[in-house]
Amino acid sequence: MVLPDVANEMLTRRPATRPVIVPADDRGIGRAARLLADGEIAALPTETVYGLAADATNGEAVARIFAAKARPRFNPLICHVDGLEMARGFAKFSPLAERLAETFWPGPLTLVVPLAEGAAIHPLVTAGLDTVAVRMPRGVARDVISALGRPIAAPSANRSGKISPTTARAVLDSLGDAVPMILDAGPARVGVESTIIDLSGQAPVCLRPGGVAVTEIERAIGQPVARAGADAAISAPGMLRSHYAPGLPVRLNATDVRPGEALLAFGPDGIAGADNAAAIANLSPAGDLTEAAANLFAMLDQLDRSGATAIAVMPIPSEGLGEAINDRLARAAAPREAS
């Protein structure tokens, strides 16, 4: 059920205001794809729930997802593809993964598989992990991906902590003007999230039950699937306090750089001792938090390999995306946990 009244209202009465609700016909699909190609975000219908999408290869676009949802953490996002061929372009598919994809795609099954070497997926999508969660949706979302020609990252299109939206109206109510466009294809068919199966270890593990029954998956592959705890996907890799810790010690809110340290800077200001820093990377010389979020994982990694003794991090404001950036940095600085 398309909502022409809402669309008309949005288009005619408030032409300059975000968001615009657009029917998911060919024109709407083309429009959404162009918006995504320009590095913007858009809410798209999938068969599970409405997703908030961005080009998965564009870090600033992906950062906008976290900003719009007001997510306090950079947890990894699911990469949506238009088929197995696109997925093979950035992820490694074992024979088991191929079999599951062939059996259940398009559909509500997400596979966690190893990221390919040099994959174009931005590290903000995987939260810096060496695995990636991949799914091929049915219908409109798939058409948008094909039109874009690149994978899209998309969590549910709701404010962080709120329930997942199954209609365009629910997206509007939740995200308001944080999203420029909502593609409307009526109520989502499945209405629950995708089942997530982790295939990156020795044996398949269900991280989250969802739209495809685990028993169906077991039948398809002829082997049992272990169930992680009910909150496993939520407490997945990213949630462990020191999981993403760089090898080097991290010193937060630094007001100077000590001998031997590398500097992770933010903003235009200098800092004492910077001239002698072992290496310097600036998350955003202009002080832009979206740019900083997009650079965070790659720059931490770069400084970690710089040969410095530690990484000094300048203070980062905590508003907007700063909260998630500081959460990530706090994890990096946390005492190491045994693994």
Q: Which residues bind ligand AMP (CB under 6 A)?
A: 75-78, 112, 126, 129, 131-133, 155-156, 196, 198, 207-208, 233-234, 236-237
Q: Which does 282 bind (CB under 5 to 8 A by kind): ligand AMP, Mg ion, none?
A: none
Q: Report the residue number, 19 or 51, with the smaller CB distance to Mg ion.
A: 51
Token couple for 290: 């979206």
Q: Report the residue number, 121 or 311, with the smaller CB distance to ligand AMP.
A: 121
Q: How far is the CB of 269 from ligand AMP (least distance, A)?
A: 35
Report yes or no: 262 and 278 within 8 Å, Cβ to Cβ. Answer: yes
Q: How far is the CB of 226 from ligand AMP (least distance, A)?
A: 14
Site for Mg ion, residues 246 to 265, rule: CB under 5 A: none
Distance of CA 121 to the CA centre of its chain: 10
Site string for Mg ion, 129-168 (x = CB under 5 A): ---------------------------x-------x----
Q: Report the residue number, 82 or 261, with the smaller CB distance to ligand AMP.
A: 82
Q: Which does 91 bind (CB under 5 to 8 A by kind): ligand AMP, Mg ion, none?
A: none
Q: Report the residue number, 6 or 192, with the smaller CB distance to Mg ion.
A: 192
d(CA 151, CA 90): 9
Q: Report the residue number, 63 or 132, with the smaller CB distance to ligand AMP.
A: 132
Q: How far is the CB of 46 from Mg ion (least distance, A)?
A: 12
Q: How far is the CB of 195 from Mg ion (least distance, A)?
A: 14
d(CA 292, CA 77): 18
Q: How far is the CB of 230 from Mg ion (least distance, A)?
A: 15
User: 27: Cβ–Cβ under 8 A, 6 or more apart, which residues?
Assistant: none
User: 74: Cβ–Cβ under 8 A, 6 or more apart, which residues?
Assistant: 66, 124, 127, 238, 293, 296, 324, 325, 327, 328
User: What is each CA distance from 295 to 12, 44, 59, 165, 176, in whole angstroms?
Assistant: 39, 26, 7, 30, 27
Backbone angles phi, psi at 56, to 5 degrees: -70, -10
Name the residue with the smallest CB distance to Mg ion: 156
Residues in the chain: 339
Q: Report the residue number, 114 or 287, with the smaller CB distance to ligand AMP.
A: 114
Site for Mg ion, residues 163 to 192, rule: CB under 5 A: 164
Closest CA to 49 of 232, 210, 176: 210
Q: How far is the CB of 144 from ligand AMP (least distance, A)?
A: 17
Q: Report the residue number, 128 or 155, with the smaller CB distance to Mg ion.
A: 155
How many other C-beta atoms can be found within 10 angstroms of the C-beta atom of residue 154? 30
Q: How far is the CB of 262 from Mg ion (least distance, A)?
A: 35
Strand intervals (E) in 234-298:
250-251, 261-265, 280-282
Q: Report the residue number, 32 or 133, with the smaller CB distance to ligand AMP.
A: 133
Q: Which does 170 bind (CB under 5 to 8 A by kind): Mg ion, ligand AMP, none?
A: none
Where do runs of H (alpha helix) occur along the chain? 4-8, 26-37, 59-69, 84-88, 95-104, 123-126, 140-148, 168-175, 214-221, 289-304, 322-333
Q: How far is the CB of 311 from Mg ion (least distance, A)?
A: 32
Report yes or no: 225 and 217 within 8 Å, Cβ to Cβ. Answer: yes
Q: Which does 107 bind (CB under 5 to 8 A by kind): ligand AMP, Mg ion, none?
A: none
Q: Which does 234 bind (CB under 5 to 8 A by kind): ligand AMP, Mg ion, none?
A: ligand AMP
List interacting residues with Mg ion (CB under 5 A).
156, 164
